[in-house]
Amino acid sequence: MITVNINGKDYSAEKDETVLAVAKRNFIYIPTFCHNEAVADYGSCRICMVEIWTKKGKNKLVTACLFPVEDGLKVETNNERVLFIRKNIAELLLAKCPASAEVAEIAAQLGVYETKYRIEKDGNKCILCALCTRVCDEVVGRKAISLVNRGINREVAIPFYDNAAACIACGSCVYICPTNAITMTDKDGIRTITMPNCEMKFALRKCNSCGREWIPEKQVKYFLSSAPGLTIEEFDLCQSCRK
């Protein structure tokens, strides 16, 4: 165990834990968008910036979700310098995602209600946190979506914007998106997943008992092909009717 000082108070930590992990465990609030415990950290949104001092006297601003703690590290999560940077990042996010209520909420917590930067795209909610691409790759194992293009044209997309061959309609990207930029609806036997630049539709399988449409047919096919021993009959009943 090592000792880390956060906002003037000492805390015990495991070597190589991140600043964010130690802060969260001790109920110290640091705002985040691109962090989720289900996937590896990425550090894209930068809203979790904190100021650190090492034993050797090195002082700098770092992303709390990526920076590993070390013995004797001093961290300030809410001082004047940190707040100045966070407010500027909040303004950039407001310009990037003017339609995101979640971005507006965190910006308001920082006292930011408008941005001096040019609005990039009306209606945009995607902050390019890459949580959707990471969960699809690291958890689902499909790599059905990715970040494409560069600079101001950077965006999340499926291959060629219309090729959903790898997607199994599990909805993991929808559940993990922090700004509701990706949505999903199940209606009339069809699951529709809507991304900022495309829409995908998948047929749903009905439960033989209650008639509820409960799982995408494509997901069933994926399970059958990846788990030897499974039979199609195991998907005849929804979770509720199996009890």
Grouped pLDDT means (10 residues each) for the chain, 243 residues: 96 95 97 96 95 95 97 97 97 95 96 94 91 96 92 88 90 96 96 93 94 94 90 91 83
Note the pTM of the prediction, 2 decimals: 0.90
Q: Smallest Cα–Cα separation from 143: which of 153, 128, 158? A: 158
Rg, C-alpha atoms of the chain: 22
Q: What is the C-alpha separation between 229 and 66, in angstroms, rounded?
A: 41
Supply the pLDDT for residue 131.
97
Q: What is the C-alpha separation between 124 and 181, in angstroms, rounded?
A: 8
Report which secondary-structure segment, H or E, holds 203: strand 198-206
Q: What is the C-alpha separation between 59 and 52, in angstroms, rounded?
A: 6
Domains of the chain: 2-109 (3.10.20.740), 131-235 (3.30.70)
Strands 2-6 and 183-187: unpaired
Supply the pLDDT for residue 152.
82
Tokens of 219: 């997901």
Supply the pLDDT for residue 28.
98
Supply the pLDDT for residue 98.
93
Tokens of 82: 């940190």
